[in-house]
Amino acid sequence: MNTSFSPPGTCGKAEHLSRRTLLRGAGLAGLSWLTPLSRQLAIGAEKSRSRPKSVIVLWMQGGASQLETFDPHPGSKISHGSTSIKTAVKGIEFGTGLDRTAELANDFTVLRSVTGDEGDHARAIYHTKTGFRPFPGIIHPSIGAVMSHELPVPITGGKPLDIPTHISILPSVFPARGGYLGARFDAFQIGDPIRQVADLSSWVDQKRDEHRYESLHVLEESFAGGRIADLEGKRTLHQASIRNAQSMMSSEQLAAFNVSDRPAAERDAYGDTPFGRGCLAALDLVQAGVRCVEVTLNGWDTHINNHEAHLKLNGILDPALSSLIRGLKDRDLYDDTIILVGTEFGRTPKLNVTEGRDHWPHGFSVLLGGGGLRGGLAIGETDPSGEKTDPARKIKVDDVHATILSSLGIDYESELITPIGRPLPLSEGRLIRELL
């Protein structure tokens, strides 16, 4: 496992260009003399007042069916026998098996008419995680990468965070990436948090370990000669990664990655599954200051036996999601944290010959809660007859991104300059006003 990372909040080769900042003749526009890091800290400090600080993405890998989760149509022909339960909000129902989450329906909003433009897993995952469709020659950053790039470096105990600010727990083959912002903004990947993170202790004694680093320093000095250095002008980014990895290996903050010492009752509340434990670790990580944590629950690609598979998966999602919401509230973190339950697309209104549902990007559900966003709503609707392809109140994938970034205090209309000099917007979406 690669444990190296570089300090968050640094611009690297991607410089920030805000239309609003460029048009202003004073204020933050006058900070151009600062170093890129200092400028980002100053901009982030202005934007982060009374704003959410973190995002937790619960990723339903494979394409969760809206009809068996957050947009059921019981009794209709497209339900094919799937049932629903009432929630704490009158008139809103969820799929069977989401009982504990249904009790908290006042605390979040379900977007029932999210639409994408991709029906292939790889392309749709790229689209929903970045807000952009795949395009030759460009890899766009995910929400977590944008947050780590745009927001100020988290400070804990009077010093910058020792652990990465962008983390993926139980990642699939399509983890969140830094894209053109650079590999240092890729999600740091770990497995089941019941186990220690791999490769965080030396295999040799301390004296030999120190001697190895001294020898490495000699090689690094030779390698750095004549090559592009980092912002300090003296060291390569590889050396910065080594320093950060060393800080992480000795940090007390590593405890947030591991839930093995938690009481059994607390783990059981989350379901005591790998996904449930991942959600418990996500709670600890955002409390430690991590910007974005992604936790993946795989298995939603239900081309066969859709109803049976979703009932089982709902049984894993329900205790983890509901306990995460309660945990954030208990620690007074819910207003500081946005929860996103997302997936690459939904499932077809019709069952196929193997009683499964196929890919359907034309109207699926996304849950958004916390971070000061409005709760107790179901925005948009899909056609209970299954005849209309696109919903009347269409919410685009990039609208979700724009709304989250704006809630975090990030100017979603601003542009970044890629390493090849190309200006690209952070989002091309529009705000979902009902959430704000």
Domain that holds residue 270: 16-198+252-435
Q: Is residue 107 part of a domain?
A: yes
The secondary structure element, H or E, covering residue 424 is strand 423-425
Torsion angle in degrees (nearest 10) through CA of 352, 356, 362, 365: 160
β-pairing verdict for 155-156 and 159-160: antiparallel
Q: Is residue 155 part of a domain?
A: yes
CB burial of residue 310 (10 Å; 0-12, 13-18, 19+): buried
Q: Is residue 205 part of a domain?
A: no
| DSSP string over 194-251 | TSPPTT-S-SS-HHHHHHHHHHHHHHHHHHHTTS---TTSSS-HHHHHHHHHHHHHT-
Amino acid 14: pLDDT: 53
Q: Is residue 339 part of a domain?
A: yes
Please report, as a single letter, which amino acid is at residue 329. K
Q: How many CA atoms lie within 13 A of 368 on its CB side?
A: 23
Per-range mean pLDDT, top range of 48-52, 94-98, 150-154, 206-210: 94-98
Amino acid 41: pLDDT: 45
Q: Is residue 142 part of a domain?
A: yes
pLDDT digits (tens, 9 = 90+) for 215-257: 887 877 777 766 655 545 555 667 777 788 888 988 999 999 9
Please report, as a single letter, which amino acid is at residue 38. S
Q: Is residue 134 part of a domain?
A: yes
| DSSP string over 75-93 | TSTTTTT--EEE-SSTT-E
The pTM is what? Answer: 0.86
Q: Is residue 212 part of a domain?
A: no
Domain at 298, CATH number: 3.40.720.10
Q: How many domains does the chain have?
A: 1
Q: Is residue 231 part of a domain?
A: no
Amino acid 43: pLDDT: 46
Amino acid 219: pLDDT: 79
Amino acid 332: pLDDT: 97
Q: How far apart are CA 405 and CA 427, in angstroms?
A: 9
| DSSP string over 113-159 | EEE-S--SHHHHHHHHHHSS--BTTB----HHHHHHHHSPPPEETTE
The closest alpha carbon to 52, from 405, 412, 397, 418, belongs to 405
The secondary structure element, H or E, covering residue 403 is helix 397-407
